[in-house]
Amino acid sequence: MRAVGVHADVIVVTSQIWQTTCTVVRSGDEAFVIDSPVLPGELEALPALVEHAEFPVAGLLATHADWDHLLGRLAFPGDALGVAETTAARLAAEPGAAQRELRTWDEQHYVPRPRPLSLGQVQALPVPGHCGIGERELELHPADGHTADGMAVWVGWAGVLCCGDYVSPVEIPVLSGGGSLDGYEATLARLRSLVEAADTVVPGHGAPLDRDRALAILDEDAGYLDALRRRDDDAPLPRGRDTAEQRRIHRENARALTT
C-alpha cells in the first residue's frame, strides 16, 4: 500500500491489488474516506495511518457498488457509508452481491479476512448534489457508464477530483454489467470540465494524475470508445495500456455491445 499527500487536506492510498485507490479528505475536524484499498493488511493499517496524519474519520463514501470500492467498513466498522442514489438502488437490487464477489475473490487468491464484509447503514445521497464535510462541501457528480451507478467527487478547495473507475492510467474503459457505451461517453463529457479545473485527478485504479496527464487519458479513452462504437476490433489500445489483460477487457467490451 502506498500513501501520498496530494494536498494538505487530501491523502491518496493506492492498494497493491489492481492499484485500487482510496482517498481521505479532511475539512476541519471531519474527514471522509472515499472508496477503499483491498488487502486485509492495508485495511488494518488505514485507521492508524489517517489518525497519525490527524484526519478524524467521520464517514465513508463509495463512488460505485463494485466490491473493491466498498471495503471501507472493514477498516471503519462504526461509520456510515454514503453512496449515490443509483448506487443505493443497485445495492438494494443486488443484496449480498458485493459480499459474495469478495468471498469468491478471497477464495481464488487464498486471502483470509478477520471478518466478513457488512455494509451496515447505507445513506443514499442525491446526485448531482453536495455532501457537507466540516465547514465545507463536496460536490457529487453523476458517473455512470462503467456500471449502471456511480458518482464522482469534487473536492473544490483542494482542486482534487475523485472520479471512480474513469480516466485510469492502467485500465481501458470497462463496460461492466449494467454499464453502457452511451453512459460512459456522457460521463467523460461531464468530467472534462472538472478535470480541466483540477490540480489532481484520482482515478479508481492507478496513481494520482496531474491535470495534463488526466486530460490526455480522457481524450485517449474517448477515442477508444469511438473505435469501439465503430466495431474497430483492430484499433490500438491507449498508450501504456496495450497489454494482454486490457486486450481481454476489450474483447469483453466488444461482446457487451453485441448482447
In contact, 201 and 214? CB cutoff 8 Å: yes
* The pLDDT of residue 72 is above 80: yes
Enter the pTM of the model: 0.95
Q: How far apart are CA 76 and CA 58, in angstroms?
A: 9
Mean pLDDT of 190-200: 97
- Residue 239 binned pLDDT confidence (cut-offs 50, 70, 90): confident
- Residue 259 binned pLDDT confidence (cut-offs 50, 70, 90): low
* The pLDDT of residue 233 is above 80: no
Class at the top of the CATH hierarchy for domain 2-257? alpha beta
Sequence-ordered list of residues with C-beta below 8 angstroms from that of 189, at least 6 positions apart, any chain = none
Q: How far apart are CA 243 and CA 251, in angstroms?
A: 12
Q: How far apart are CA 94 and CA 248, in angstroms?
A: 26
Omega of the bond leading into 128 within 30 degrees of 0 (cis): yes
* The pLDDT of residue 184 is above 90: yes
In which residue are the cell numbers 492499484 written? 19
Question: Which residue, among 170, 211, 171, 219, has the nearest Cα to 194 in the 3D structure?
Answer: 211
Q: How far apart are CA 236 and CA 84, in angstroms?
A: 34
Condensed to tens digits (0 to 9), the pLDDT of residues 3-27 reads 999 999 999 999 999 999 999 999 9
Residues found in the chain: 259
In which residue are the cell numbers 465503430 written? 230
